[in-house]
Amino acid sequence: MTSMVIVGGGECGARAAVTLRESGWTGPIDLFGAEPHLPYERPPLSKRVLLDDACHDTPAAVVDPSVFTELSITHHKGIEVTDVDRETGEIVAGDGTRVPYERVLLATGATPRMLPAAAGHSKARVLRTHDDLRRLHADLRSARTVTIVGGGFIGLELAASACTLGCEVTVLEAAPRLLARAVPEPSARQIHERHRQAGVNIRCGVTITAIADVNPGVATSSAAVTLSDGSVIPHDVLIIGIGAQPETTLADKIGLDIANGIKVDQYLTTSDPRILAAGDCCSFPHALYGDNRIRLEAWRNAQDQARIAARNMHGEQLPYTAVPWFWSDQYDLSLQVAGLPSYAASEVVRTRHDDVELRFGLDECGRIISAAAVGPGNAVAKDIRLAEMAIARHATPDPVALADPTATLKQFLR
């Protein structure tokens, strides 16, 4: 009997496998993961888990291990899918296993981008997997100075964690400001200021010209980054956090269309109607943003696309229309963003009684297409959730009412 095959044993793959069974598929489900772990949560790796003095061998599972048994999902741990034979309708695994498929979901995720100058450098680290986490966990407990290349979400979360652990931290960002791709400038400035207060040295608009050991051949030697202005930044640990590239090796090998990731339509179907893709690895048209093709590296997106893809594998035809949502916890602050601020033509700011600023992005027609806020703990979660719902409903509020902190956001959902 043909199987529903999922390639990629992360958040997206695990959620898709469970949803397939819940949606009524009674045949075999085969979930292949290249890592030797059960599917696990990645967001805590740069925050809570990194700060935990005990670095556990077993990461936090996406679903309880018993669920796979109860739902008769076959999980192939530590086995990579090396080919998809589209003529015979079989996937080929690295251990020689061949599985005939009904449909295939590619949930292969993304891999960290490596700075060319840091490639092969003994002190350079990235953070994507649990094994990366274990290495970095040990490094930061013996390090005095840490240099982080990249002022995006992952780089700043790691900066906050390293600073909390007592390290002297420098963040190097090539762009003129932090979080340039996904966060409004004033919100990013708040995050910048919080890092400055914690003692992090942030340098934006810089170019790295060299990375080298100070005393090559000496096991305990430190290393240094040289910038184009001649500055030399010494470090015991160098972390590269300059984003990730979609993992398209298998898709490219079998001839699927590629466009900043595996190219899918609004139903998450690739150029082969029997193969779908979801999560960090794929790019897709989004109706909320003029059907422009986007790719999201986000925990929520992986979950939401997994569920839509699984149901479409089972015969439904559901478009993916979820509002993008991101969050980042740094020190005592939480940054949350709904929608894509980069598409906004104008902005409305609502200042709450506690001085938290909600920044709403509007398109040319006055429709809300994004919202962002920074606040302590979970203080902004409710408002951003309401804004997310308003974005999904194509709300076009009166800008004056939107800016008024005494006007409830719920009124814009009507």
Domains in the chain, CATH or no CATH each: 3-49+58-111+244-313 (3.50.50.60), 114-240 (3.50.50.60), 332-413 (3.30.390.30)
* CA–centroid distance for 123 within its chain: 24
Please tell me the predicted confidence (pLDDT) of residue 94: 94
Please tell me the predicted confidence (pLDDT) of residue 219: 44
Please tell me the predicted confidence (pLDDT) of residue 29: 98
Please tell me the predicted confidence (pLDDT) of residue 172: 98
Helices (H), 165-220: 185-198
Q: Residue 413: what are its φ and ψ, rounded to 5°?
A: -95, -10
Distance CA 11, CA 242 (A): 22
Going from the C-alpha of 219 to that of each of 64, 212, 213, 229, the distances in angstroms are: 42, 14, 10, 29
Please tell me the predicted confidence (pLDDT) of residue 214: 61
pLDDT tens digit sequence for 201-221: 999 999 999 998 765 544 445
pTM score over 0.85: yes
Q: Among positive and negative, which fits the CA dihedral 51, 57, 61, 64? A: negative
Tell me the average confidence (pLDDT) per consecutive run of 10 residues in the chain, 414 residues long: 96 98 97 95 92 85 93 96 97 96 98 88 90 94 95 97 97 97 95 98 96 59 86 94 96 98 98 98 97 96 98 97 96 97 97 97 97 96 97 96 94 87
346-351 and 124-125 strand pairing: unpaired
Going from the C-alpha of 366 to that of each of 6, 49, 250, 362, the distances in angstroms are: 41, 42, 42, 5
Distance CA 388, CA 393 (A): 9
Distance CA 75, CA 10 (A): 11
Distance CA 304, CA 320 (A): 8
pLDDT tens digit sequence for 300-347: 999 999 999 999 999 999 999 999 999 999 999 999 999 999 999 999
Please tell me the predicted confidence (pLDDT) of residue 121: 83
The DSSP code sequence of 368-413 is: EEEEEEEEETTTTHHHHHHHHHHHHTT----HHHHH-TTS-GGGGG
Please tell me the predicted confidence (pLDDT) of residue 15: 98
Q: In what order do the strands lie in the sheet with 282-286?
A: 262-263, 282-286, 292-294
Please tell me the predicted confidence (pLDDT) of residue 220: 45
Bridge partners (DSSP) listed for residue 7: 32, 106
Going from the C-alpha of 51 to that of each of 56, 133, 238, 336, 377, the distances in angstroms are: 12, 11, 18, 22, 17
Q: What single letter denotes the amino acid at residue 173?
A: E
